[in-house]
Amino acid sequence: MSSIYDALHAFQSEAQVSPNPTWLLLLLIPALVLMGMISLPLPFGRSHWSAKGKHAFITGGSSGLGLALAELIVERGGSVTLVARDETRLSCAKQQVERLLSVRLDPNKGSSTMTDYKQFVQAISADVSSFEAARRAVQQASTSTCQPDIFFCCAGAATPGFFIAQSEETLRRGMNTDYWTSASMAHAALRSFISSGKKGGKIVFVSSILGMFGMVGYAEYAPAKAAICSLADTLRSEALLYDAQVHCYLPGTILSPGLERENRTKPNITLKLEGTGSGLTPRQCAQGLLRGLSRNQFNITTDFLTELVRSAHLQNSPGNGWILDGFKCALARIVQPLWRWIENDRAIQKEKKLHLAELQTAGVQVAGAPVLASAPSQSE
């Protein structure tokens, strides 16, 4: 022990006489590499979560991401409870997932996997934007032997438009639809875990890249998604008290029926900034989300741009490997200002006169607004 101390003392004395940064690098690099290897979510590591034998409770389960998740979970041996407001669409979604289940369980069709547990698909029509409604839905989905193991909060919708032109009703409805449905479900889910004594239960919030990266035209939607990010970050810590886990999925553009509805009210400048044709299908997003759960990631992303935004966003929750996050954060700090200057701000400034004229035509009083001769419609 004394020889080690003497060697360190000699090294310190030599460094004080003639400091050499090479020695510091030689000492730090192995430590950094080792810590990075420990922290990286390696794709070939053990799986932290599997759908097999699990009961998934999915809000927004009648279409889009929610329905795609239900299909994948059933294909992988799990059971699902679909929750949505529209009874007709919900019934169609339930039948669609049940067909997958019948194929899986039919040994004559050659694709079945016999199990020692019973898979099922059930549907509940409910508006879960209030605590009481969410509690009733969870209670209805639960039995004494089959409580939900994981809650996916997929319900939500966007009504794009310029903030100044939107009504108070629209903005409040957006917060109710996107934030309160998730908050109410999380509240009911934690109560369910505690009352049933379930350990290792999961809550998966669905936010958006817009929850960390605002964009023109999304004032009704982005604040609610940012609130979901903050709620997930907070509840990840609180859930440790109940042996539960919280995750947050940050999708980019999902090529779903919801996107088609969004585009009807989306400002032209927003369409230009987003581009056309880019995005992932609901199934691709669902696959990426389940892959993130299997790697035990808190913030889960499925495209490179969102991953850059995530890595530059400081939270109390763990990242996805601090060395890679550091590189991606540095890249984001370079790319984002360039994009903001070249693409975002300049494109918006070009639309200024047209936008003010459209506001004037729509009945918003605008001092000195230019006269709009023939404004193009949003559908053009």
CATH 3.40.718.10 for the 55-306 domain, yes or no:
no
225 is catalytic: yes
DSSP 3-state of 79? strand
**Alpha carbon separation from 173 to 99, 177, 211, 271 (Å, rounded):** 35, 6, 17, 23
pLDDT digits (tens, 9 = 90+) for 139-192: 999 976 689 999 999 999 999 999 999 999 999 999 999 999 999 999 999 999
Please calculate the CA angle 177-180-184 and round it to the nearest 5 degrees: 130
Pair type for strands 121-125 and 299-301: unpaired
Of 54, 179, 218, 221, which is the active-site residue? 221
Digit-coded pLDDT (tens) for 254-267: 998 888 889 899 99
What is the value of pTM for the model shown?
0.81
Give me the residue spans of the domains in the chain. Answer: 55-306
Contacts of 117 (CB under 8 A, 6+ apart): 53
The structure tokens listed for 167 are 């009504």
pLDDT tens across 71-114, in order? Answer: 999 999 999 999 999 999 999 999 999 999 988 776 555 444 44
**Sequence-distant (≥ 6) Cβ neighbours of residue 322 within 8 angstroms:** 35, 36, 39
Laid out side by side, the sheet with 55-59 consists of 121-125, 79-84, 55-59, 150-153, 202-206, 245-250, 299-301
Q: What's the rounded Cα separation, in Å, for the pair 357 and 367? A: 10
Catalytic pick from 202, 225, 266, 328? 225
